[in-house]
């Protein structure tokens, strides 16, 4: 192999400073003391030579990548900005790097997720980023993981960070029924088997049950937590010959709410007079939609931050087992019928 590497290595630094490579390495990693004089000299030489340690070489020797991975299903939702922001802040403070990758286990192209044990020290797995089998495999090898917006399969007990979905949804749907007299509430669910989606659906059904309203399968649509898909689903539903009566929509999340508003406007419904609309997440734009969106405030940035912190706890061998569930809160605005 030709020696074409022009980059300056730890040996160059060592030679220039008149010490061994081991000393340089120790100085860089600050794990073993180095005499003040040598330290001084090394600092000098390193800046003079513009030495930058070679990450791959470090990784190989130390068996640490100083990288954590975030595995997402997709990047189709404004929701990810606060989530990423929370994660990135922690990662940066720890002087780690963050690899962001999308992968959906159930998608056709069954390429394995591009991140894992060999190029990351740990993984943040969002929602359905991995199927249970993958989780089990990784977990069996003791690979550090924290689940985000999903909980661990019972047999695995991987730490997780989620938000409270069910009770708050029930409360909000009951509000719709009780305060605004709604009885035919469309439920636009997220991805099938997605945990947030399922738990919100449970909350929805509990509310109906509590108020003695029978559940109607015709009032359930698939919105996938995506603006465009939500629009399509509702537009389809409304354009359909057999019009099913409804007087409210639980939109799944705020991003889907945008699609819902678009479809309702398009078909001439007044909100909230004809149809009440509620979302979930309280993204930044929610107060400024037309009408302002009643929604559930989820502490998304905190979710990201806490998930990352727990992952680092794991890396540092403190084992923060268990599931964190962050509280949520209803924000009443006009789209549900309230006059705020």
Partner DNA sequence: TGAAATAATGTAAACGGTTACAGTAAACGG
Partner DNA sequence: CCGTTTACTGTAACCGTTTACATTATTTCA
Direct distance between the N- and C-terminal alpha carbons of the chain, in angstroms, rounded to an integer: 72
Q: Take residue 241 and report the two structure tokens written for it.
A: 């010959």
Asked if 41 touches a copy of itself (CB under 8 A), the answer is no
Asked if 317 touches DNA (CB under 7 A), the answer is no
The torsion of the CA quartet 250, 253, 258, 264, rounded to 10 degrees, works out to -10
Q: Which is nearer to a copy of itself, 215 or 285 (CB)?
A: 285
Is 263:223 a contact under the CB 8 Å cutoff? Answer: no
Asked if 37 touches DNA (CB under 7 A), the answer is yes
Asked if 26 touches DNA (CB under 7 A), the answer is yes
Asked if 224 touches a copy of itself (CB under 8 A), the answer is no
Asked if 33 touches DNA (CB under 7 A), the answer is yes
Q: Take residue 308 and report the two structure tokens written for it.
A: 């990352």
Rounded Cα distance between 139 and 151, Å, is: 14
- Measured from the CB of residue 115, what is the shortest distance to DNA in angstroms? 16
- Measured from the CB of residue 248, what is the shortest distance to DNA in angstroms? 56
User: What three-state secondary structure class fits 187?
Assistant: strand
Say which entry of a copy of itself, DNA, none residue 18 contacts (CB below 5 to 8 A, set by partner kind): DNA
Asked if 290 touches a copy of itself (CB under 8 A), the answer is yes
Q: Take residue 85 and report the two structure tokens written for it.
A: 């922001």
- Residue whose C-alpha is closest to residue 311's, from 65, 74, 87: 87
Of the candidates 44, 62, 157, 321, which one interacts with DNA according to CB under 7 A?
A: 62
Contact code string over 88-117 relative to a copy of itself, x by CB under 8 A: x---x--x-xxxxxx-----------xxxx
Is the Cα dihedral 307, 312, 314, 315 positive or negative? Answer: positive
Of the candidates 20, 29, 85, 319, which one interacts with a copy of itself according to CB under 8 A?
A: 85
- Residue whose C-alpha is closest to residue 293's, from 74, 72, 75, 78: 78
Q: Which is nearer to DNA, 29 or 236 (CB)?
A: 29
Residues that bind DNA (CB under 7 A): 1-3, 5, 7, 9-11, 18-26, 28-29, 31-35, 37-38, 51-54, 57-58, 60-63
């Amino acid at each position: 192999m030709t020696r074409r590497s022009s980059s300056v290595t730890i040996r160059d630094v060592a030679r220039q400073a008149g010490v061994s490579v081991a000393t340089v390495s120790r100085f860089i990693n600050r794990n073993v003391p180095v005499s003040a004089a040598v330290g001084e000299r090394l600092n000098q030489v390193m800046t003079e030579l513009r030495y930058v340690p070679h990450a791959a070489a470090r990784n190989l020797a130390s068996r640490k990548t100083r990288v954590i991975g975030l595995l997402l299903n997709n990047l189709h939702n404004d929701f990810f900005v606060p989530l990423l922001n929370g994660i990135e802040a922690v990662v940066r403070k720890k002087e780690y790097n963050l690899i962001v990758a999308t992968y959906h286990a159930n998608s056709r192209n069954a390429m394995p997720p591009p991140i894992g044990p060999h190029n990351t020290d740990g993984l943040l797995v969002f929602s359905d980023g991995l199927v249970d089998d993958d989780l089990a495999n990784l977990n069996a090898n003791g690979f550090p993981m924290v689940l985000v917006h999903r909980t661990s399969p019972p047999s695995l007990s991987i730490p997780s960070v989620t938000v409270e979905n069910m009770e708050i949804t029930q409360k909000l749907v009951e509000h719709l029924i009780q305060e605004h007299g709604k009885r035919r509430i469309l439920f636009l669910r997220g991805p099938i088997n997605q945990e947030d989606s399922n738990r919100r659906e449970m909350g929805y059904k509990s509310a109906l049950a509590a108020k003695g309203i029978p559940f109607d399968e015709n009032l359930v649509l698939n919105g996938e937590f995506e603006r465009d898909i939500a629009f399509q689903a509702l537009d389809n539903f409304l354009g359909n010959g057999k019009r099913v009566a409804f007087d409210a929509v639980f939109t799944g999340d705020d991003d889907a709410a945008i699609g819902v508003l678009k479809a309702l406007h398009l078909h001439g419904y007044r909100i909230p007079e004809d149809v009440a609309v509620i979302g979930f997440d309280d993204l930044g734009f929610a107060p400024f939609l037309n009408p302002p969106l009643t929604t559930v405030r989820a502490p998304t940035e905190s979710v990201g931050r806490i998930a990352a912190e727990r992952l680092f706890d794991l890396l540092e061998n403190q084992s923060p087992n268990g599931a964190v569930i962050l509280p949520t809160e209803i924000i009443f605005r006009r789209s549900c019928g309230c006059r705020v």
